[in-house]
Amino acid sequence: MADIKKKVLKKLGEVMDPELHIPITDLGLVYEVKVKDDKSVNIKMTLTTIGCPLFSVIEQEIQNKLYQAGIPNVKTELTFDPPWSIEKMSEKARAQLGL
């Protein structure tokens, strides 16, 4: 299961925030990845702001990337607990944004 989780995280690193063009993993939007089996994954994530209209775009990109990686069953749960903050971003993402 650890190998599948690594594979999922790598593919999530290819999913870009549509506005910032930074991977959602570097932005700290992915809170949890649970591997159920080699074909099923649950992802808990957030957005930078409540009410952001781009969740469906990001969710579809997650679905596409993981489907291409052989993981057809993906459940994406959106949460705002805890709320996202700049501190969740990687150093690389902060540098890209000049923070």
Residue 99 located in a structural domain? no
Task: With CA atoms as reference, report the closest residue to 39 among 81, 13, 75.
Answer: 75
Q: How many domains does the chain have?
A: 1
Residue 19 located in a structural domain? yes
Whole-angstrom CA distances from 9 to 25, 49, 71 are: 8, 22, 12
Range of the domain at 19: 2-93
Residue 98 located in a structural domain? no
Q: Above 90 in pLDDT, residue 51?
A: no
Residue 11 located in a structural domain? yes
| Predicted model pTM | 0.91
Each residue of 33-49: pLDDT tens digit?
999 887 899 999 999 99
Here the CATH number for the domain that contains residue 15 is: 3.30.300.130
DSSP 8: H
Task: With CA atoms as reference, report the closest residue to 71 among 37, 34, 45.
Answer: 37
